[in-house]
């Protein structure tokens, strides 16, 4: 039976696998639950329609599987292929919502509200593509699904086993993504990233499921990539391949023969080392890639292309007929313009302070780091970022001393009391000293508290998160409001929401005149509606609101009062992408430049991002 292209697929000459009906799935009646080879597939699934690229780490974790996988996915996406990444985590948590950012890096919130780990952020940024629940799976999700089905009697008296049931559930998730990964339609390639390393207990069932998947899908449909690490002990002064060999062997013991090997290393991997690994792993040198340290990860897609990795993948997976060369040229030109700007000399120099809680661990604010980098490239600025813990900022004088060292400050999101009073003082200092300020989520709430205390004179104003008994609960939890909004289960407001932007405000000029934008939220507390009239009467401007309910989403001070003072109840860092930096970050960096170079506001770039302050201040301390 010939396969047909899914509706809307741009490349009509799609070649099916030689004879999919002769494949394993059909031969053994594999969706029959009484069969030993039980392997469920979604209705209408066509083997060979979607290809799979699987990236598995060896030697150690944290080598950048996500960066490798997203760069390769980008190369194929630029060629007109539709791609869908999925990260498979071995831990038993259902999502990353309860993970400590100190241990696991930031919690990245997707448009559909799923709390995932920071790697999903890498995929979204590199691919410039929104992801959702289908792109993230944990062992906890898989086991929950199996156990719930078992309780419902869903296994018809069979003993429920790791194989075929758990592995079957994993394959099902991958095939469902294959069928829907292109905005609800079948996609060309699913990129699977397995968390951890080959040989870990907790990801063993994923590797087994992928081995089975490759067999069932048949030849030319799955490609395995081993990401490994080349040691270069300074005492020897040369690269050693033994750890890599052993790591790859571990993968082969699990029944997986890699087709491609990516070698992480400090320096470019030598031919000699590649040959050695090649001999022990059955992978030709032309299918090896030196992923050595680089100034920027954004140059990796082009480096892969130069090494011929894209052609190798296309040949292995028989994807050449689906390539759109015109689109590739266009996308490459855009990306290369970005990477050459990245490498170009920067004319402006600024210093930004991020006043948070996890100052010692930048992964806890990975997306903020990236959002600043996107602006630095767009505005040609060299930005020195300093991360500070505010816990010991005990006086306004100290706060002033601290914030005036910077050309702009960010107070990021957070939970818990530690450092909050210090943040309030820093925001007050930034307001009084006219230092450009961006408050994010908790940083937005802190700005409201600061305004209530020091402008309205409500000395005990606070958030009920930190002082439930305060007489001035300017930030509070409003469960009833959440009920109206239809927030299910958990008590956090999560994911993408529309924000209506007030006319004639700084926010509106930043967002290019838009009357509404969509941004991502992760919070439990918000501005108490009962306090809004007093805050507004005192001079605080709420320039972004919920379309229906009295939920305040953006605040600002009039530009006459402060050159750049803005806050968002949402997380603007989550939607910043290399080629489309988030406007509130752009405004901050532009205002920071203008602070050092008054002429900047008059330049074309500056005019777009900085509004000039022109009349007397309306808000005073």
CB of 571 to ligand GLN, least distance (A): 7
Burial bucket for residue 112 (CB in 10 Å: 0-12, 13-18, 19+): middle
Which tokens belong to 382? 């060299």
Closer residue to ligand GLN, CB minimum distance, 109 or 593: 109
Smallest separation, CB 507 to ligand GLN (Å): 19
> Which of these segments, 82-90, 181-189, 297-305, 409-417, binds ligand GLN (CB under 6 A)?
409-417
| Cβ closest to ligand GLN, residue 522 vs residue 545 | 522
The correct pick among 441, 517, 527, 586 for binding ligand GLN (CB under 6 A) is 441
Tell which residue, 204, 220, 242, has the closest CA to residue 56: 204
Report the DSSP pairing between strands 51-57 and 222-229: parallel
Task: Give every CB contact of residue 72 below 8 A, 6+ residues apart in sequence.
Answer: 53, 191, 225, 301, 304, 309, 310, 313
- Work out how close the CB of 416 gets to ligand GLN at its nearest, in angstroms, rounded to a whole number: 8
> Is 549 designated active site?
no
Instruction: Name the residue nearer to ligand GLN (CB basis): 248 or 588.
Output: 588
Q: For ligand GLN, which residue has the nearest CB?
A: 413
Taking the least distance from each CB to ligand GLN, the nearer of 81 and 554 is 554
- Considering only 17-25, 213-221, 248-256, 408-416, which stretch makes contact with ligand GLN by CB under 6 A? 408-416
Is residue 573 among the annotated active site residues? yes
The DSSP bridge partners found for residue 85 are 191
- The dihedral through the CA atoms of 282, 319, 73, 200 has a sign that is negative
Q: Is 155 in the site for ligand GLN (CB under 6 A)?
A: no
Pairing of strands 115-117, 136-138: unpaired
Is 414 a residue that touches ligand GLN (CB under 6 A)? yes
Catalytic residue among 208, 441, 526, 546: 441
| Minimum CB–partner distance for residue 569 and ligand GLN (Å) | 8
Q: Tell me, what DSSP letter sits at residue 322?
A: G
460-499: contacts with ligand GLN (CB under 6 A): 465
Residue 572 as a binder of ligand GLN (CB under 6 A): the answer is no
| 595 binds ligand GLN, rule: CB under 6 A | no
Angstrom distances, CA of residue 534 to CA of 108, 238, 443, 446, 528:
34, 68, 20, 17, 11
Instruction: Say whether residue 573 binds ligand GLN (CB under 6 A).
Output: no
> Does 105 interact with ligand GLN (rule: CB under 6 A)?
no
Q: How far apart, in Å, are the Cα atoms of 73 and each of 249, 307, 374?
A: 26, 15, 20
Q: How many residues bind ligand GLN (CB under 6 A)?
A: 10
Residue 404's nearest CA partner among 429, 425, 421, 427 is: 429
Verify binding: residue 610, ligand GLN, rule CB under 6 A: no
Q: Check residue 415 for interaction with ligand GLN (CB under 6 A).
A: yes
Binding status of residue 522 toward ligand GLN by CB under 6 A = yes
* Piece of 1-9, 96-104, 303-311, 523-531 that binds ligand GLN (CB under 6 A): 523-531
Q: Which of 353, 413, 422, 581 binds ligand GLN (CB under 6 A)?
A: 413
Among 52, 511, 525, 565, contact with ligand GLN (rule: CB under 6 A): 525
- Nearest residue (CB) to ligand GLN, 30 versus 442: 442
Would you give the distance in Å from CA 411 to the centre of its chain?
20
Between residues 524 and 577, which has the closer beta carbon with respect to ligand GLN? 524
β-bridge mates for residue 192, sequence order: 54, 86
CA distance 240 to 509: 55
In whole angstroms, the minimum distance from the beta carbon of 461 to ligand GLN comes to 16
Q: Which is nearer to ligand GLN, 143 or 466 (CB)?
A: 466
Question: Which secondary structure element, helix H or strand E, spans residue 78, and what is its range?
Answer: helix 65-78
Asked whether position 408 contacts ligand GLN by CB under 6 A, the answer is no
* Half-sphere exposure in the Cβ direction for 237 (13 Å, CA): 0
Cβ count within 10 A of residue 133: 13
Can you spell out the DSSP letters for 378-424? HHTEEEEEEEEE-TT--SHHHHHHHHTTSSEEEE----SSTTHHHHH
| Contact by Cβ (8 Å): 282, 224 | no
Interface residues with ligand GLN (CB under 6 A)? 413-415, 441-442, 465, 522-525
Q: Which residues are catalytic?
A: 441, 571, 573
């Amino acid at each position: 039976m010939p396969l047909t292209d899914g509706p809307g697929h741009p490349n009509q000459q799609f070649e099916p696998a030689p004879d999919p009906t002769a494949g394993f799935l059909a031969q053994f009646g594999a969706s029959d639950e009484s069969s030993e080879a039980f392997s469920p597939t979604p209705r209408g699934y066509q083997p060979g329609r979607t290809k799979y690229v699987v990236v598995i780490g060896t030697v150690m974790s944290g080598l950048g599987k996500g960066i490798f996988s997203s760069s390769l996915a980008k190369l194929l996406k630029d060629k007109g292929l539709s791609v869908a990444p999925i990260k498979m985590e071995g831990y038993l948590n259902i999502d990353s919502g309860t993970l400590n950012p100190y241990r696991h890096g930031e919690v990245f919130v997707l448009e559909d509200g799923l709390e995932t780990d920071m790697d999903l952020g890498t995929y979204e940024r590199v691919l410039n593509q929104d992801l959702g629940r289908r792109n993230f799976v944990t062992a906890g999700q898989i086991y929950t699904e199996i156990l719930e089905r078992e309780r419902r009697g869903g296994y018809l008296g069979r003993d429920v086993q790791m194989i075929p049931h758990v592995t079957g559930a994993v394959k099902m998730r991958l095939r469902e993504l294959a069928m829907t990964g292109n905005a609800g339609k079948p996609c060309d390639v699913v990129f699977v990233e397995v968390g951890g390393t080959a040989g870990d207990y907790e990801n063993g069932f994923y590797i087994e499921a992928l081995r089975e998947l490759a067999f069932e899908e048949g030849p030319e449909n799955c490609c395995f990539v081993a990401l490994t690490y080349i040691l270069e002990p300074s005492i020897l002064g040369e690269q050693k391949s033994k750890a890599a060999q052993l790591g790859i062997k571990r993968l082969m013991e699990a029944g997986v023969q890699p087709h491609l090997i990516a070698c992480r290393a400090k320096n470019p991997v030598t031919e000699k080392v590649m040959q050695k690994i090649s001999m022990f792993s059955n992978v030709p040198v032309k299918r090896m890639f030196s992923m050595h340290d680089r100034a920027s990860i954004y140059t990796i897609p082009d480096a892969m292309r130069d090494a011929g990795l894209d052609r190798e993948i296309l040949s292995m997976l028989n994807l050449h007929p689906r390539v759109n060369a015109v689109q590739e040229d266009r996308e490459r030109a855009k990306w290369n313009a970005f990477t050459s700007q990245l490498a170009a000399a920067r004319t402006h120099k600024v210093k930004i302070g991020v006043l948070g809680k996890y100052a010692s661990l930048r992964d806890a604010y990975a997306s903020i780091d990236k959002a600043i980098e996107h602006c630095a490239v767009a505005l040609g600025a060299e930005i020195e970022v300093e991360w500070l813990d505010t816990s010991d900022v005990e006086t306004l004088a100290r706060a002033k001393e601290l914030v005036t060292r910077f050309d702009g400050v960010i107070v990021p999101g957070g939970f818990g009391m530690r450092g909050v009073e210090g943040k309030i003082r820093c925001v007050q200092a930034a307001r009084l000293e006219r230092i450009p300020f961006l408050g994010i989520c908790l940083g937005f709430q802190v700005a409201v508290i600061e305004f209530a205390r020091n402008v309205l004179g409500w000395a005990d104003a606070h958030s009920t998160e930190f002082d439930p008994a305060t007489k001035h609960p300017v930030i509070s939890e409003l469960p009833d409001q959440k009920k109206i909004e239809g927030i299910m289960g958990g008590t956090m407001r999560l994911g993408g929401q529309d924000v209506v932007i007030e006319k004639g405000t700084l926010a509106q000029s930043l967002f290019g005149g838009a009357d509404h934008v969509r941004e991502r939220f992760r919070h439990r507390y918000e501005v108490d509606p009962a306090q809004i009239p007093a805050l507004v009467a005192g001079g605080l401007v709420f320039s972004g609101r919920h379309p229906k309910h009295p939920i305040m989403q953006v605040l600002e001070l009039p530009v006459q009062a402060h050159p750049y003072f803005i806050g968002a109840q949402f997380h603007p860092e989550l939607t910043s992408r290399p080629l489309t930096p988030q406007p509130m970050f752009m405004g901050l960096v532009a205002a920071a430049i203008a602070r050092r170079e008054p002429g900047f506001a008059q330049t074309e770039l500056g005019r777009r991002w900085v509004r000039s302050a022109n009349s007397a201040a309306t808000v005073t301390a």
